[in-house]
Amino acid sequence: MRRDSRGGQRETLVKVLRYIRKYWFYLAVSLLMAALTVTLTLYLPILTGRVIDLIMGKGDVDFPGIFRILRAMGAAIAVTAAAQWIMNVCNNKMAYRIVQDVRNEAFRRIEILPLGYIDGHSYGEVVSRVIADVDQFSDGLLMGFTQFFTGVITILGTLGFMLSVNVWITCVVVLITPLSFLVASFIAKKTYLMFREQSRTRGEQTALIEEMIGGQKVVQAFCHEDEAMERFDEINGRLTDCSLKAIFYSSITNPATRFVNNLVYAGVAVTGAVYAIRGGISVGQLSCFLTYANQYTKPFNEISGVVTELQNAIACAARIFALIEEEPQIPDREDALVLKGVEGRVDLEHVSFSYVPDRKLITDLDLTVQTGQRVAIVGPTGCGKTTVINLLMRFYDVQSGRICVDGADIRGVTRGSLRASYGMVLQETWLKAGTIRENIAMGKPGASEEEIVQAAKLSHAHSFIKRMPQGYDTVIGEDGGNLSQGQKQLLCIARVMLCLPPMLILDEATSSIDTRTEIRIQKAFATMMQGRTSFIVAHRLSTIREADVILVMKDGNVIERGNHETLLQKGGFYAQLYNSQFAPSSL
C-alpha cells in the first residue's frame, strides 16, 4: 500500500511537471529572483556582523564605516523587495495558468468521454473533480512555488555562507539536519494518504448534495428527509474523520521540525561560543552564525507547512488526472464521411448491444426504414426503446452488426454530421442558462428573428413567450429556471422546429404537455414529419396511430411490427398494450 502511494505520488508529480514545462520562462525568472532574494537576505547578516565588529567599545566606534555598511544594507533590502515582487508575479502567473490548462483539459475530456462514463458516475462527483479538486491543487501549487523554492535555496545558500565563515560549526548543523528530513518524510507519507481519502470523500459528499438539491421535490414528497440526512451525516462523519487525521498529521509537522531546528540553533550557539572564547571567531562572526542558524532552520518550518499543502494538492491532482486520462470515445476516422444531402434511409443489420456484458438487451435486431417513413417504437419500460435511439445517434456504438444511413455505416461517419442530420426532442428537457432566443436558436445560431418566432409559433410556445417580462430576450436560469415542465418541453420542440433536419427522433416528446396542446403539437409534428424519416418513442399509444411502421419491443427484441390496424387485428402483445390503455376498466 505504501509503495503504491509513493508510486502514485511520483507519477502525479511527473504529470504536474509536464504542465510546468510549458511555462519554463516564468519558472526560470522565479528561480533567478528567488536565488537573488536569498543571496541578498543571507548577505545582510555578514554586513550586520561587520557593523558589530566596528563597534570596538565605548568611544571607539567607526561611524564612517558603519554608515557605508548601512547604505549597502539599504540597497540590498530594496533590491530584495523588488526581486520578491517579481518572483510572486511569476509564481502567480505560472500557477493560475497551469490551473487554467488543467481545468480546460478536464472540461474538454468531459466533452469527448463516452456516454457510458457519464452514466456511470454521479454528476456531483465529476463536478467536484473539476471545481473543488482543481481549487485545492491551485492553492498547493501556488504555495509550493512561493515558499518551497525559496526555502530550498535558502537552506543551500545558508550552508554556503556558513561554510565560508567556519567549517566546523557548519558540520554541527549538517549532522543534526537529517533528523528534520526524516521527521518530515514520515509525516508526509501519512498526510498524503489522509488527504487522498479526504478528497475522495469530499467528492462523494458533493455528489449527494447535488443529488438531493436536484430531487428536493421528490425527497419531500416521499418524506425522505430523515433518510437523506442520515446518509449525509454518515458521509460527513467519514469526511470529518479523515480530515481530522489529515490535519493532525499535518499539524505535528511544524512542531516536530521546530524541535529539531532548536537543536540546530543550540548546537551552533554552544559550539560558536566555545570557538569565540578560544579566539577562533569574532563576536560579530558569532552573531552572524546565530542569525544564519535561525535562517537555516526557518525554511524547514515553512517547507513543512508547504509539504502539507502539496500533499493535499497532489492527492487532488491525482483525481483530476484520473479524469483527464479516462479513455475517450472512439474518435472519428481520418477518412470519416461527412453526411451531406441526407435522404433518410436507415438500416439496422443484425444489431446487438448491452450496457452490461452479462445482461443481454438488444440481440440481432434487423430493421429497414425507408426515406420519409414514420417509425414508432413501443413496449414496456426497459425493453430497449431508448437504447435504439442512443444507437441511432451513436451515443453508444453497436457491439455487433451495423447501422447505416443512406447506405453508409455510421461508424465511418463523423459524429457531428450524423447528429446534425437528426432533430431530437427527449422526454427529459434541457435548457441552458441564457435568453429564450438563444435556447431556441441553439441548433441554428444564425437564425433570423422571423425564423425563431415562426418555430415558436409552430410549437405553440409563442403565446407564453410573449407573456414573459422581456419576451424572447427573457433570461432563464439553468435547466429552465421557473418555467413549467410543459413550457420547457415546448421550447425544446421549437428548437427542433427551427432546424428541420432530414430525420427526427421524438422520445416521449409530448409527455409533459396537456392534452389540448398535445393535439396541436401532433398536428405540427405531422407537418414537420412530411418527407422526413421519423422515429417516435411513446408510451401513450394514441400518439402513434398514424405511424407507417410500429415496432413492438420486448426484452430487447422486436416481437411484432406493422401499422396500427394490422397489429390490432393480430390480437398480440400490441393489442394487449393498446386495450390496457383504452379499454374501460372493470371494477
Give pLDDT tens digits for 279-304. Answer: 777 766 777 777 777 777 667 666 66
pLDDT at 175 over 80: no
User: What is d(CA 376, CA 550) in angstroms, rounded to the nearest whole number?
Assistant: 5
Using DSSP, state whether 526 is helix, strand or coil: helix
Section 536-560 average pLDDT: 79
The residues with which 505 forms a beta bridge, in sequence order, are 424, 535
Q: What are the φ and ψ backbone dihedral angles of 534, each rounded to 5 degrees?
A: -130, 135
Q: Are 334 and 413 in contact (CB under 8 A)?
A: no
Give how far Cα 23 sits from Cα of 17, 94, 140, Å: 10, 6, 17
Q: Are 140 and 188 in contact (CB under 8 A)?
A: no
- Strands across the sheet with 374-378, in order? 422-425, 503-507, 533-537, 374-378, 549-554, 557-562
pLDDT at 2 over 60: no
User: What is d(CA 306, CA 150) in angstroms, rounded to the nearest whole number?
Assistant: 11
Q: How confident is the model at residue 402 (pLDDT cuts 50, 70, 90)?
A: very high
Q: How confident is the model at residue 404 (pLDDT cuts 50, 70, 90)?
A: very high
Counts for the chain of helices (H) and strands (E), in that order? 21, 14
User: What is d(CA 444, CA 454) in angstroms, rounded to the nearest whole number?
Assistant: 14
Q: What is the CA radius of gyration of the chain?
A: 35
Task: Let me know if 438 is exposed, middle or buried by CB neighbors in 10 A (0-12, 13-18, 19+).
Answer: middle
Q: How confident is the model at residue 1 (pLDDT cuts 50, 70, 90)?
A: very low
**Considering the chain, what percentage of its residues have pLDDT values greater than 70?**
84
Among the listed residues 103, 141, 190, the one whose alpha carbon sits nearest the alpha carbon of residue 313 = 141
Element (DSSP H or E) covering residue 457: helix 449-458
Residue 484 DSSP symbol: -
Q: Which residues of 79-91 are buried (b: 16+ CB within 10 A; e: fewer)?
A: ebeebbebbeebb
Q: Which of the residue ranges 80-84, 312-316, 459-463 has the most confident prediction, judged by mean pLDDT?
A: 80-84
Q: Is the dihedral of CA 139, 140, 141, 144 positive or negative?
A: positive
Q: Which of the residue ranges 78-82, 192-196, 359-363 has the most confident prediction, judged by mean pLDDT?
A: 78-82
Q: Which three cell numbers stand for residue 223?
A: 418524506
Residue 339 DSSP symbol: P
- pLDDT (tens digit, 9 = 90+) per residue, 203-238? 788 777 777 776 666 666 666 777 878 888 888 888
Q: Are 305 and 88 in contact (CB under 8 A)?
A: no
User: What is d(CA 208, CA 235) in angstroms, rounded to the nearest whole number?
Assistant: 9
pLDDT at 393 over 80: yes
User: What is d(CA 100, CA 137) in angstroms, rounded to the nearest whole number?
Assistant: 11
Q: Are 169 and 289 in contact (CB under 8 A)?
A: yes
Q: Are 33 and 87 in contact (CB under 8 A)?
A: yes
Domains of the chain: 11-21+94-324 (1.20.1560.10)
Q: Which of the residue ranges 22-31, 159-168, 249-258, 540-549 has the most confident prediction, judged by mean pLDDT?
A: 22-31
Question: Mean of the per-residue pLDDT values for the chain?
Answer: 79
Among the listed residues 368, 372, 373, 306, the one whose alpha carbon sits nearest the alpha carbon of residue 155 = 306
The residues with which 549 forms a beta bridge, in sequence order, are 375
